[in-house]
Structure 1
């Protein structure tokens, strides 16, 4: 029997920390053939989702998948994200959370060719968040936010 990854446990822990502190938990994920999300909200192969209690219905953070229902433009959609595809989970208000390395997965269309599937390993900080607010560059000049500006999540290796 293979050992279960620590990643789903860390996701659940950061989610609980966010909710206990009154923060809004956001989940960033790489989108591939196994990811069931509204494709119109995917940017650069990734999607960022508000996974707070008020934004989701039936949230289940299991060892293999994160599943829930959420409304997009007033329409309820079923969301299913493989835990392997989760890039980060963090609090919207202060950017604190955890980022993860994405291990390349073989998807059906590349498996025959012997090529790994698409792999993304960083959370974009210059894209609009699901609430329609610019999460990474409030003044639009390419510089990081000034003290007191919107928080961003950056990957440190």
Structure 2
């Protein structure tokens, strides 16, 4: 019997830590055909999303999906992100958080994106979170 992934539990824990300490939690997502996000904001097959309490409505970080409503250009959108596609969660203010490897189930040939979003190589690392003043972000990669 295979144990369930620890990833959704770690995502929820870091999200809660960010919120409890007044930080803004961001997630970096490797977009695939199952990822429901505004495609016009996808760059090189990736998108970074603010999942803070002030930026989301009806946020649910489940074991399989992260679902919420967010506003883009003043328009409310329903978003759905497979947990397996999250490559990092971190605090915008200081970069503290955690990076994850994307599962093998998403081969680049399975990804169907608009032509402008599909130009990036899916083997590239996720975008680096913004660097805080006075130091390097503290992300830990887990497998």
TM range (shorter): 0.7 to 0.9
- Higher fraction of strand: 2
Runs (4 or more) in structure 1 with deviation over 3 Å come to 118-121, 151-157
Q: Which has the higher contact order (CA 8 A, sep 6+)?
A: 2
Contact in 2 for aligned 1:87/1:121 (Cα 8 Å): no
Indicate how the Cα distance of structure 1 residues 44 and 55 shifts in structure 2: closer, same or farther if over 3 A, else same: same
Sort the Cα spacing of 1:121 and 1:102 in 2 relative to 1 into closer, same or farther, 3 A: farther
Stretches of structure 1 lacking an aligned partner (at least 5 in a row): 112-117, 127-134, 137-144
SS in 2 for 1:14: helix
1:122 to 2:108 alignment: no
> Contact 2:97 / 2:139 at 8 angstroms: preserved in 1?
no
Equivalenced residue count is 132
> Of 134, 137, 141, which residue of structure 2 is paired with 1:148?
134
Q: 1:79 and 2:74 equivalent?
A: no
How far does residue 62 in structure 1 lie from its aligned partner after superposition? 0.3
Greater Rg, structure 1 or structure 2? Answer: 1
2:80 counterpart SS class? strand
TM-score (norm 2): 0.80
Give the unaligned 5+ runs of structure 2: 112-120
1:19-34 equivalent positions in 2, closer than 5 A: 19-34=19-34
Contact kept? 1:59, 1:69, Cα under 8 Å: yes
Alignment check: 8 A CA contact 1:123 1:153 kept: no
